[in-house]
Amino acid sequence: MIKPSLKLGFLASRNGSSLRAIVAAIRAGTLDAQARLVVSNNRAAPALAFAAEAGIPELCIPTQADAETADRRLAAALTEAGVELVVLSGYLRRLGPVTLAAYRDRILNIHPGPLPAFGGEGMYGRKVHEAVIAAGAAESEITIHLVDEEYDHGAVLARRAVPIAPGETADSLEARVTALEPEVFVETLQRIARGELVLP
């Protein structure tokens, strides 16, 4: 029996670094997946230009004016594109109930610190690294988790420890974590594609 490749949809508000790394892995033949759709809430997002250049269908769905309509449009667009697994690549909007219900346990996000200790509403980007340094932690962590109704609350799928170096600052920690994140996302999807990591 041939295992079907992962059918991926991506949500990105800006550059989409993990999106780019995942598409590169697909093209290199190291990830058995298809990039079906890239959606952004930001018309100027470089991720949309990247998708267009790569020949991946792309769509802008603004969320601020009417979040409920945007939620329905997003769920419909993902479904119509045949997306089975949704990857958040720096998507800076909260997902709505229609999309969350349509893709229950099938939306993956990456967090730049240990969960649950350094997660929750308002804990993103630089704030996470500042909190890790302030806590005097021996190591930080890159965490891949499933998305549900609460920020950073869903089941953790993968963790990669990032040791805190002597004299580490939030700047230096952020740079190291950001550089590693795309690789961790690709590895996690490879494990899912091979059947080593089974989603709920």
**145 given a catalytic annotation:** no
With both helix axes pointing from N to C terminus, report the angle between 17-28 and 46-54 in degrees, rounded to the nearest 10. Answer: 20
β-strand partners of 168: none
The DSSP element (H or E) to which 47 belongs, if any, is helix 46-54
3-state class of 106 per DSSP? coil
Our CA dihedral for 167, 18, 184, 105, rounded to 10 degrees, sits at 120
- Tokens 């969960």 sit on residue: 115
Surface-to-core class of residue 76, CB atoms within 10 Å of its CB (0-12 exposed, 13-18 middle, 19+ buried): middle
Share in percent of the chain as helix, strand, coil (round to 5): 40, 20, 40
Amino acid (1-letter code) at residue 33: A
Amino acid (1-letter code) at residue 69: T
The catalytically annotated residue of 111, 129, 145, 153 is 111
Backbone angles phi, psi at 178, to 5 degrees: -60, -35
Which residues have a catalytic role annotated? 111
